[in-house]
Amino acid sequence: MSQHPAGPFARLPEPPYYAVIFTSRRTAGESEDYGHSASELLELARRQPGFLGVESVRDCERVGITVSYWRDEDSIAAWKQLAVHLVAQRAGRERWYEHYEVRVARVERAYSSASSPRVGL
């Protein structure tokens, strides 16, 4: 993994593991509240048992994809319960997002440009 760059890429173990794919469109307008709570949620996720990593991108049109990676389904269930509580406290999610889609998936294989250039997609 010496060619693995720091930054936006999660360092993950060999599959299998689980991915939560969260695609969303933010509501219009700036929100300090959102930024703060999103960071807080992420920090909380990082401290959860079974958390493996996260990759997250949001574009100029307020559309984002965040993929968080977990050891197993139990880790995801525990994290989701915690997140729902925190979001309920902040009275947040339905105010922050116009729409979101969540897909929970089992990662079966993985490769990178470092391990096999030219075969992405």
Which x/- pattern over 50-89 shows residues binding a second copy (rule: CB under 8 A)? Answer: -----xxxxxxx-xxx-xx----------xx--xx--xx-
Does residue 117 interact with a second copy by CB under 8 A? yes
Rounded to a whole number, what is the largest CA-CA distance in the chain? 46
Residue 13: DSSP 8-state = -
Does residue 118 interact with a second copy by CB under 8 A? yes
Counting residues that bind a second copy (by CB under 8 A) gives: 60
- Sheet containing 17-26: which strands, arranged edge to edge? 17-26, 63-70, 51-58
Which x/- pattern over 10-49 shows residues binding a second copy (rule: CB under 8 A)? Answer: x-x--x---xxxxxxx---------------x--------
CA separation for the pair 86, 40 (Å, rounded): 9
Residue 42 half-sphere exposure, CB side, CA atoms within 13 Å? 13
CA separation for the pair 80, 76 (Å, rounded): 6
Task: Quote the least distance from Cβ 118 to a second copy, whole Å.
Answer: 6
The helix/strand/coil state of 58 is strand
Positions touching a second copy (CB under 8 A) are 3-5, 7-10, 12, 15, 19-25, 41, 55-61, 63-65, 67-68, 79-80, 83-84, 87-88, 93-94, 97-114, 117-121
